[in-house]
Amino acid sequence: MLPGAKCWVTDVCVPLSRFPELITETQADIKSEGIVGPIVSHAGDGNFHALLLFRTDDELKKVERLVHNMVERAQRMDGTATGEHGVGIGKKPYVENELGSGTVELLRQVKRMIDPQNIMNPGKLIPDEKSGSSSHAH
């Protein structure tokens, strides 16, 4: 579609009742940035994938903004930052907004219990603790 381009693949998911709105707003956002970004979806489960193409650093900044907008849009529509690709590292900053700080702290505690040496996927999924806060039980 765009010779020499790189592709950032991302996904979000919302309740089916919000899916048409999510697609419409996302397509308009992609168009407004002037990015080539086809969308493919599992329309039956409210999940879609955007394939955002970029060639320059300027286009990469636009793509990063589009991904951020997609995640915030999905969460605003009672959806999730990722439907099947997982949080990994890239969407970690959005986990607390989606799940709440109490749930994130519970995830940290469970992780410490089952993986005290932090050898299973270190640095993924669970947001880093903010500096200055102590969440360890005393």
User: What is the residue type of 79?
Assistant: G
Give every CB contact of residue 4 below 8 A, 6+ residues apart in sequence.
Answer: 55
- Any idea where the domains of the chain sit in the sequence? 6-76, 87-138
| pLDDT > 80? residue 59 | yes
Q: What is the mean pLDDT of residues 33-37?
A: 97
pLDDT of residue 78: 95
CATH code given to domain 6-76: 3.30.70.2740
Predicted TM-score of the model (pTM): 0.79
Neighbours of 15 (CB within 10 A): 13
pLDDT of residue 131: 60
- Facing residues of 39 across strands? 50
